[in-house]
Amino acid sequence: MALAINKAPVNSGLGLGDSEFNLFRKLIYEQAGISLSDAKKPLVAGRLSKRLRQLGISSYIEYFRRVQRDSQELQVTIDLLTTNETYFFREPKHFDFLRNQILPGAIGRGPFRVWSGACSSGEEPYTIAMVLAEVLGQRPWEIVASDLSTRVLQEAAGGLYPQADCSGIPRHLLHKHCLKGVGQHEGSVLVSPALRERVSFRQINLNNALPKLGTFDVIFLRNVMIYFDIDTKRRVIERILPLLRPGGHFMISHSENLNGVSDALKPVRPSIYRKPDA
């Protein structure tokens, strides 16, 4: 998954002053660890202006005060200011490595567990599920998928995608693990129940104390830390490391690295790290 600030601003007609922008900038940093530059001010104004109109609120400061006292509206704000850009089999070398280098050594061991730590609308964990199903079959395995946004988690749990968005799925996997939509779902593809039941979705904020999740053989945390400053990256990795089993692998996007962030994980290949054996 990629957690990214929404790209397309909308003209608002409402004035977002520097002081109000700084309030929302501080809010999204505290809640999601995302650092907004001054250049993101028009974007914030555009995204929030729609919500102000929906609620009949006439100023950004009035809306900010509402957000402060209303946890549900806070979640709406987080959803508005972050978008999740992802697709099936994104950065395919990670899945090749999982299939060819990691999973053969896992056969015969206990349940194989993977955490998709920024899963967006579900394409990443379902991609992982297809790979695990092909290699491990009915052997015990499971995937925990999490995101900050409740909106995208609802989409992910449904497992229903426009057919055009499934072009990255190899044809034999598409036929084996997905169902073609009919009737009102014509033009859509549904991930099979057999795969969906292996994936559990949870809302998790990586910037807070993590819930009890158990330990994992592989953790994917791709395209999210590029929006964190160095201190936030270090804190996030410190929280996650205890959940990775000794000998387990940690995958980030090809545009990221852990230089200056953590030396507890050893590079195996670009964007792929391994936790040393105990």
Q: Are 50 and 90 in a shared domain?
A: no
| 156 in the same domain as 214 | yes
State the CATH number of the domain containing residue 183. 3.40.50.150
Q: Which residues are catalytic?
A: 47, 147
Does 55 lie in the same domain as 167? no
7-32 pLDDT per residue, tens:
434 334 468 899 999 999 899 888 88
Domain boundary residue among 84, 101, 132? 84
Flag whether pLDDT at 58 surpasses 50.
yes
Range of the domain at 66: 2-84
What is the total count of domains within the chain? 2
Of the ranges 89-93, 184-188, 207-211, 224-228, which one carries the lowest mean pLDDT score?
A: 224-228
Are 112 and 18 within one domain? no
The reply to whether 142 and 261 lie within a common domain is yes
- Across the range 215-244, mean pLDDT stands at 93
* Same domain membership, residue 245 and residue 143: yes
Same domain (yes/no): 69, 189 = no
- 113 and 242 belong to one structural domain: yes
pLDDT value for 83: 64
What value does the mean pLDDT take over residues 94-111?
89
pLDDT band, residue 192 (cuts 50/70/90): very high
Q: Give residue 3's pLDDT.
A: 44
Whether residues 102 and 234 share a domain: the answer is yes
Q: pLDDT value at position 79?
A: 81
Segment 125-147 shows an average pLDDT of 95
| The pLDDT of residue 11 | 38
pLDDT at 2: 42
- pLDDT recorded at residue 30: 86
pLDDT at 86 over 50: yes
Whether 205 and 79 map to the same domain: the answer is no
Domain with residue 60: its CATH number is 1.10.155.10
Domain C-terminal end among 84, 105, 134: 84
When pLDDT is averaged across residues 69-97 and rounded to a whole number, the result is 88
Write down which residue in 84, 109, 135 finishes a domain.
Answer: 84
Question: Do residue 210 and residue 184 come from a single domain?
Answer: yes
- Mean residue pLDDT across the chain: 90
Q: Are residues 69 and 93 in the same domain?
A: no
pTM exceeds 0.85, yes or no: no
**Taking residues 205-212, what's their average pLDDT?**
93
43 vs 195 pLDDT, higher one: 195
**Mean pLDDT over residues 92-102, rounded?**
97
If DSSP states are collapsed to H, E and C, what string results for the chain?
CEEECCCCCCCCCCCCCHHHHHHHHHHHHHHHCCCCCHHHHHHHHHHHHHHHHHHCCCCHHHHHHHHHHCHHHHHHHHHHHCEEECCCCCCHHHHHHHHHHHHHHCCCCCCEEEEECCCCCCHHHHHHHHHHHHHHCCCCEEEEEEECCHHHHHHHHHCEEEHHHHCCCCHHHHHHHEEECCHHHCCEEEECHHHHCCEEEEECCCCCCCCCCCCEEEEECCCCHHHCCHHHHHHHHHHHHHHEEEEEEEECCCCCCCCCCCCCCEEEECCEEECCCC
